[in-house]
Amino acid sequence: MLVKRKGITVSRLIMDDQLLHPGATGELTGLLNDLVVAGKIISAEVNMAGLADILGQSGKTNIQGETVQKLDVFANQTIKRRMEQCGYVCVMASEEEDEVIPVLEGYEGEYTIAFDPLDGSSNIDVNVSIGTIFSIHKRVSEPGYAGEEDLLQKGTEQVAAGYIIYGSSTVMVYTTGSGVHGFTLDPSVGEFFLSHPNITIPEICPYYSVNEAYSEHWFDSTRNFIAHLKKEEDGRGYSLRYIGSLVADFHRNLVKGGIFLYPRDKKSPEKSEGKLRLLYEAAPMAMIVEQAGGRAITDDGRRILDIKPTSLHQRVPLIIGSKKEVDLAERFFSSSSE
């Protein structure tokens, strides 16, 4: 029983997860633990970033003797370095790299990872929460033939998904399909401790989260839905909260209840499918929210987890959060003519 035990670390729970699957090889356990290490390294750098800027430390070098880099480049390098030599991954995809990323020769493993190394980059230098998002699949290719087909799998095929949010504290939230758990980093000991056992997204939904600056370009379905939320017809008042980091907006909604929308819009062709990427933003968040009792759909009513990706950086409209509000949104989007 989770709640009776105290001081559970994320590594302990990852191991407990493995024990739930008698046939487990321990590879997923190893992969997740290496991700935890990456999260700790990125968290330390994120918390130093402001300092480095303020003190104008030029040419600050890290333990690898490299000069300090922009945080999203640093985060990307950190995760790649961990994953390419862990022996559990056969191929990777990162928001920061156009093509698939191979692992080191002789270190091919049974899983793939797609990740957004630093989500919410526009908020890095204004001290607003940012995060890392990851999605893990079992490979489908034969040994030695890892490639895009291992990454372009439906969200329903994910074996694990999660994020690490670097905010007032660093919190890691993940699921392997048996519920959602959150762990808070205690920097004084360098351990993530269970802080949010068995997360379920609240049914009561106080927040809606959408970038209203684009409302002139929304399709009628989006406009009508947001207008309905404002009318409080069914007596439910909502507040608008929009941070501009998916991880932060999603985490708030997961903990307090809420609905987040990044719909397509009519103005910008590059946003004809919305802005967020299926592989390493929408699909992992969709697995988490469904495991927590919520829903994740597109603005034409498709379930995010059912979408078969056709390219690494494919964008998808995203409506995600508390079930009742996503159900309501679905009625608006399916009834609208456009």
Q: Which residues bind ligand AHG (CB under 6 A)?
A: 95, 116, 119-121, 211, 244-246, 275
Give the shortest CB-278-to-ligand AHG separation in angstroms: 13
As given in the structure block, the two tokens for residue 253 are 């909604």
Choose one: 7-15, 94-102, 164-172, 178-186; the region binding Mn ion (CB under 5 A): 94-102
List Cβ neighbours of 208 (8 Å cut-off, separation of 6 or more). Answer: 226, 229, 238, 239, 240, 241, 258, 259, 260, 261, 325
Choose one: 9-17, 90-98, 137-145, 325-333; the region binding Mn ion (CB under 5 A): 90-98
116 touching Mn ion, by CB under 5 A: yes
| Measured CA distances, 284 to 58, 250, 294 (Å) | 37, 11, 13
Give the shortest CB-316-to-ligand AHG separation in angstroms: 13
Choose one: 5-13, 60-68, 88-96, 218-226; the region binding Mn ion (CB under 5 A): 88-96
Give the shortest CB-247-to-ligand AHG separation in angstroms: 7
Q: Which is nearer to ligand AHG, 29 or 77 (CB)?
A: 77
Give the shortest CB-131-to-ligand AHG separation in angstroms: 8
For residues 326 and 306, is the Cβ–Cβ distance under 8 A? no
For residues 92 and 219, is the Cβ–Cβ distance under 8 A? no
Q: Which is nearer to Mn ion, 95 or 265 (CB)?
A: 95
For residues 130 and 124, is the Cβ–Cβ distance under 8 A? yes
Q: Which is nearer to ligand AHG, 17 or 325 (CB)?
A: 325
For residues 72 and 96, is the Cβ–Cβ distance under 8 A? yes
Q: Which does 108 bind (CB under 5 to 8 A by kind): Mn ion, ligand AHG, none?
A: none
Residue (of 280, 313, 320) closest to 75 by Cα position: 280
Q: Total residues at the site for Mn ion (CB under 5 A)?
A: 4
Give the shortest CB-60-to-Mn ion separation in angstroms: 22
Choose one: 95-103, 207-215, 249-257, 289-297; the region binding Mn ion (CB under 5 A): 95-103
**Distance between CA atoms of residues 64 and 2, nearest Å:** 38
Q: Which is nearer to ligand AHG, 28 or 286 (CB)?
A: 286
**Distance between CA atoms of residues 66 and 59, nearest Å:** 9
Give the shortest CB-153-to-ligand AHG separation in angstroms: 21
Amino acid at 174: Y
Q: Which is nearer to Mn ion, 134 or 183 (CB)?
A: 134
Give the shortest CB-121-to-ligand AHG separation in angstroms: 4
| Measured CA distances, 200 to 10, 77, 142, 240 (Å) | 18, 33, 37, 21
119 touching Mn ion, by CB under 5 A: yes
Choose one: 103-111, 112-120, 171-179, 183-191; the region binding Mn ion (CB under 5 A): 112-120
Q: Which is nearer to ligand AHG, 83 or 261 (CB)?
A: 261
17 touching Mn ion, by CB under 5 A: no
Q: Which is nearer to Mn ion, 249 or 330 (CB)?
A: 249
Give the shortest CB-168-to-ligand AHG separation in angstroms: 18
Which of 17, 34, 45, 95 touches Mn ion by CB under 5 A?
95
Give the shortest CB-277-to-ligand AHG separation in angstroms: 8
List Cβ neighbours of 109 (8 Å cut-off, separation of 6 or more). Answer: 27, 31, 86, 87, 88, 89, 90, 103, 139
| Residues at the site binding Mn ion, with contacts judged by CB under 5 A | 95, 116, 118-119
